[in-house]
């Protein structure tokens, strides 16, 4: 049963770092949320309005709190478990839509912080310039199939092109390179990840024959959504996986992987904006493609799918915070070490009491380079340093970490030293 709880002015409802699965609704009084900005390291404060929820993001995905909630005045709150929240509010269209919109704004803010940190300088004057820049970025990174798909999409979608000759020339070069690349042995991108219970329920619902007409199939490297284009559709992944990427400084920066049971392309529909990222297929992909009019009927008005969508956005926020924190590490070697930890944490928490501390993470050098926002040569150099010290072994599709606790100590030591430096500067 939900509980009504009273707090005196100045008392703490929860601290940043707590692992507390309660969700709160402010009944009366004043509550303030405070958090430290990852990039600027300045404190950010936000007032909770009467009747608003707080503590939702971390509770739904069972992760540590990222902010501190303090009672500014005497107040009363209602505390719910995630199960009670789902039972009471998952069918409430207004609450679900308000939360999805609010959380997507939080996610967009993190994306903006990432772009600012990486000193994004791409200021495409037009939709054509932006899409062509993406095609060139794919070509320069030897992702020729994606370059072909993007050029074809550009020629198909925009009738009056100011740079048609250059686009056509790039398309021809990309086709030649793609054909040559296809003749070589390609690495399989099939995902070994399994869907969660919530995602499995969603997949089961979307597997009904009524949804067959919405099914679209894509091949490896196909551009499903292109940055700078208009928002018309959102997608549900039935099988395979897709990568979400953004054009930054002439290169494509990966923002995440969308797996079976998850939805993408919904952010721009909620905000009625142009596409803010590019989504490409990693291996064979089967998606359900829905138009804007379907969003309320398919997502918001379906309690199971709405809750799964809410958890997914919360998960993306947590992952983006994690990625942004990694990018703030100035020491490239430590940055790569923290990426190792990130991959391991997805599989299993790092524990100190286990006899076997070896871990295998299934990723490529390109994956590490994408996460670290480093070029391939710099990434190879950093990995080779770990190989030389016999800390890791690198293979085409995986990296074997000899002792994960050694890696964790490297990262923990970096953050401890950073905290000491900050304390010293304040004195």
pLDDT given for residue 199 in this prediction: 59
pLDDT given for residue 304 in this prediction: 85
Query: What is d(CA 377, CA 359) in angstroms, rounded to the nearest whole number?
Result: 24
Token pair 């949804």 in the structure block, residue: 211
Query: What is d(CA 304, CA 164) in angstroms, rounded to the nearest whole number?
Result: 46
pLDDT given for residue 186 in this prediction: 43
Percentage of residues of the chain with pLDDT beyond 70: 90
| Rg of the chain in Å (alpha carbons) | 23
* pLDDT tens by residue, 357-397: 899 999 999 899 989 989 889 999 999 999 999 999 999 88
Q: What is the DSSP letter of 10?
A: T
* Model confidence band, residue 203 (pLDDT cutoffs 50, 70, 90): low
Mean pLDDT of 163-168: 93
* pLDDT tens by residue, 36-83: 999 988 999 999 999 999 999 999 999 999 999 999 999 999 999 999
pLDDT given for residue 253 in this prediction: 85
Note if the pTM is more than 0.75: yes
* Model confidence band, residue 399 (pLDDT cutoffs 50, 70, 90): very high
Secondary structure class of 32 (helix, strand, coil): strand
- The residues near 9 (Cβ < 8 Å, ≥ 6 apart) are 71, 72, 73, 74
Beta bridge partners of 26: 77
Q: Which of 4-13, 98-107, 239-248, 273-282 has the highest mean pLDDT?
A: 4-13
Q: What is the DSSP letter of 48?
A: E
Total count of residues recorded for the chain: 427
- The residues near 98 (Cβ < 8 Å, ≥ 6 apart) are none
User: What tokens were used for 130?
Assistant: 């932006």
Q: Terminal CA-to-CA distance of the chain, rounded, Å?
A: 49
Residue 426 has pLDDT above 80, yes or no: no
* pLDDT tens by residue, 266-324: 887 777 778 888 999 999 999 999 887 778 777 778 888 889 889 989 999 999 999 99
* pLDDT tens by residue, 116-131: 888 754 455 588 898 9
Secondary structure class of 306 (helix, strand, coil): helix
What DSSP assignment string belongs to 72-126?
SSSEEEEEE-HHHHHHHHTT-HHHHHHHHHHHHHHHHHHHHHHHHHTT-----SS
Query: What is d(CA 391, CA 340) in angstroms, rounded to the nearest whole number?
Result: 12
- Residues 365-404, buried b or exposed e (16+ Cβ, 10 A)? eebbbbbbbbeeeebbebbeebeeeebbeeeeeebebeeb
pLDDT given for residue 352 in this prediction: 56
Secondary structure class of 47 (helix, strand, coil): strand
pLDDT given for residue 15 in this prediction: 96
């Amino acid at each position: 049963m939900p509980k009504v709880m009273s707090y005196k002015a100045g008392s703490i409802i929860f601290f940043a770092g707590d692992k507390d699965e309660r969700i709160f609704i402010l009944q009366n009084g004043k509550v303030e949320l405070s958090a430290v900005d990852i990039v600027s390291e300045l404190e950010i404060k936000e007032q909770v309005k009467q009747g608003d929820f707080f503590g939702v993001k971390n509770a739904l995905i069972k992760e540590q709190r990222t902010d501190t909630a303090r009672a500014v005045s005497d107040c009363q709150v209602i505390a719910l478990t995630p199960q009670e929240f789902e039972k009471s509010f998952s069918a409430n269209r207004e609450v679900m839509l308000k939360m999805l919109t609010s959380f997507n704004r939080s996610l967009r803010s993190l994306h903006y912080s990432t772009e600012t940190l990486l000193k994004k300088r791409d200021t495409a004057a037009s939709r054509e310039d932006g899409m062509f820049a993406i095609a060139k970025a794919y070509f320069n990174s030897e992702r020729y199939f994606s370059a072909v798909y993007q050029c074809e999409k550009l020629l198909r979608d925009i009738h009056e092109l100011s740079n048609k000759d250059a686009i056509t020339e790039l398309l021809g070069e990309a086709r030649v390179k793609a054909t040559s690349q296809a003749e070589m042995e390609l690495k399989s991108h099939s995902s070994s990840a399994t869907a969660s219970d919530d995602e499995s329920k969603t997949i089961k619902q979307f597997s009904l024959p009524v949804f067959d007409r919405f099914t679209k199939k894509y091949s490896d490297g196909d551009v499903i959504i292109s940055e700078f284009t208009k928002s018309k559709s959102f997608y549900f992944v039935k099988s395979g996986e897709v990568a979400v990427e953004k054009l930054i400084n002439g290169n494509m920066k990966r923002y995440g992987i969308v797996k079976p049971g998850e939805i993408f392309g919904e952010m721009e529909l909620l905000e009625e904006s142009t596409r803010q990222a590019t989504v490409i297929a990693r291996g064979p992909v089967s998606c359900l493609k829905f138009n804007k009019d379907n969003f309320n009927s398919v997502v918001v008005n379906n309690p199971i799918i709405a809750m799964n969508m809410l958890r997914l956005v919360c998960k993306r926020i947590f992952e983006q915070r994690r990625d942004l924190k990694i990018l703030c590490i100035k020491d490239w070697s430590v940055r790569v070490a923290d990426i190792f930890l990130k991959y391991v944490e997805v599989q299993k928490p790092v524990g100190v009491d286990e006899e076997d501390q070896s871990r295998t993470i299934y990723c490529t050098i390109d994956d590490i380079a994408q996460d670290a926002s480093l070029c391939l040569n710099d990434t190879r150099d950093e990995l080779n340093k770990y190989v030389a010290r016999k800390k890791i072994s690198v293979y085409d599709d995986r990296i074997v970490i000899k002792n994960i606790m050694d890696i964790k100590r490297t990262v923990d030591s970096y953050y401890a030293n950073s905290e000491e430096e900050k304390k010293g500067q304040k004195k």
